Amino acid sequence: DLYLYQDDLPTFPDEEAFACIERELGVSLDSIYSTITPSPVAAASLGQVYKAKLKNSGQTVAVKVQRPGIEKAIGLDFYLIRGLGGLINKYVDFITSDVVALIDEFVFRVYQELNYVQEGQNARRFKKLYADKEDIMVPDIFWEYTSGKVLTMEWVEGVKLNQQEVLDLVNTGIQCSLRQLLEYGYFHADPHPGNLLATPEGKLAFLDFGMMSETPEEARFAIIGHVVHLVNRDYEAMAQDYYALKFLSPDVDVTPIVPALQNFFDDALNYTVSELNFKTLVDGLGAVFYQYPFNVPAYYALILRSLTVLEGLALYADPNFKVLAASYPYFAKRLLTDPNPYLRDALVELLFKDGRFRWARLENLLEQGSKDRDFSAKDALQPVLKLLLAPDGEELRRLVVKEAVYVSEAVVLTSVVDTYNSIPTVLRPPILNGNGRGPLPMTDAEVLRIREFRDLVVRVWGLLQTSEDFDPALLQPILQVLQQPEARSLGGRVIGGVTQRLAARLLQQVLRTPPPVPTS
């Protein structure tokens, strides 16, 4: 049996563990601990853990001791696995990824786990990045009692997340994982049930920081963009994303990949994206990857491992749980607030289609983004303003001017119709009541469509106003922007467009043929 992959390994003798502690720390057990459990409270493939109380402070700690001879044992395992990987690379044509590279990445991470000083440094970095949230807990490291083979950290009371009554914290874990993967890029690559605890205070505690990995900065933005393209069913853009993700070399033609993506996702997206689970996406994309020369980077394999483990925990509690649905608020917040040019372009791409602004999409983004506790309407406004008046924003300005005409027209027209309808019939001006259709040449369906459009715009504005940090003073930058020559020109074009369209409608009203007078 491969030694590394056994989960229920027997413990090694306590005498060996205690001797290792004294040898590594250079002092006797009695001088360090007032108490230590005579046998381990937990054991895994690489080591085992004792519960102890420090003599000098009375602090309760967890003491992890490395299994003797583990380097030699797993070295043989990896030698055999790597040889198998070489054979797969050479003879298995349908696997285009470099299997040996994936194995080497995994081996590198495992050997990092054998260095407990490195693990302590990982824990310190993880805590600095993510323990700022009140529902995340990361134990402290006691450096004076830590060495390459002995790790001493704060003892954490709690229950495992695979216990039904605490699985509401799984969503907290997913939100934290999104921050890890897509915000800072430094992530816990082994979030299995034994490494996650629910504390009595209702916090999610992360343990065991041996296996960590990083998402490259370019890939973080590309992943968010990929989700946007998936929502839009923009398969050509999805295929282009694989260059940024380093899945394909620049010389690979993605044209034949587009129909494969379309065939899978059009079938998978019979329901909304939020109803998909992560495993379905992974399986579907895996089928596509096997057909074309994809080379999956090693970090991506660890991302998949991390997310599938978390989804498995969630599905244990709720078979209908969907990771993508739980992730939407984070993606919406990042799209609306992140000033990164890649994400700003993705937002514009999401909101504009066929020359029109998709207010319903913005409404959905605001509704979803506001569910994220870090969402800020203030942050959502500033990057958009900067992009609108940037030197390379001419195309966006043209679209905004066009949309401003539509919005202004909708507000004015519905106000005219509402005012007209409030006038008693006998008092309505004859020229406007000539054929009983109202003040403007519009059918009931047209009036309804324009009214629904106006109401949608009003709802979007209402969502911004209900944001906790919304303050009229936040609009001051907009006033400053409108003082710029280009912005004044923008305003003039809006007014001119509305005036022209209203004049055309009124002229139609005046010139339309009145109904024939019935003869007796």
Catalytic residue annotation: 190
Secondary structure of residue 409 in the 3-state scheme? helix
DSSP, res 167: G
Distances (CA, A) of 137 to 146, 178, 213, 375, 455: 20, 16, 19, 22, 44
Dihedral angle of Cα 320, 326, 328, 330, to the nearest 10 degrees: -170
Amino acid occupying residue 272: T
Q: Sign of the CA dihedral 157, 160, 166, 168? A: positive
The counts of H helices and E strands in the chain are 19, 13
| 178 in Cβ contact with 311 (< 8 Å) | no
Distances (CA, A) of 158 to 65, 162, 304, 361, 508: 21, 12, 27, 41, 74
* Helix, strand, coil in percent for the chain, rounding step 5: 60, 10, 30
3-state secondary structure 419-467: HHHHCCHHHCCHHHCCCCCCCCCCCHHHHHHHHHHHHHHHHHHHHHHCC
Distances (CA, A) of 292 to 94, 205, 287: 8, 41, 9
- Tell me the two tokens of residue 175: 């939100």
Q: Of the candidates 32, 50, 33, which has an alpha carbon nearest to the alpha carbon of residue 41?
A: 50
| 65 in Cβ contact with 48 (< 8 Å) | yes
Q: Does an H or E element contain 14, and which?
A: helix 14-25
Q: Of the candidates 133, 229, 125, which has an alpha carbon nearest to the alpha carbon of residue 187?
A: 125
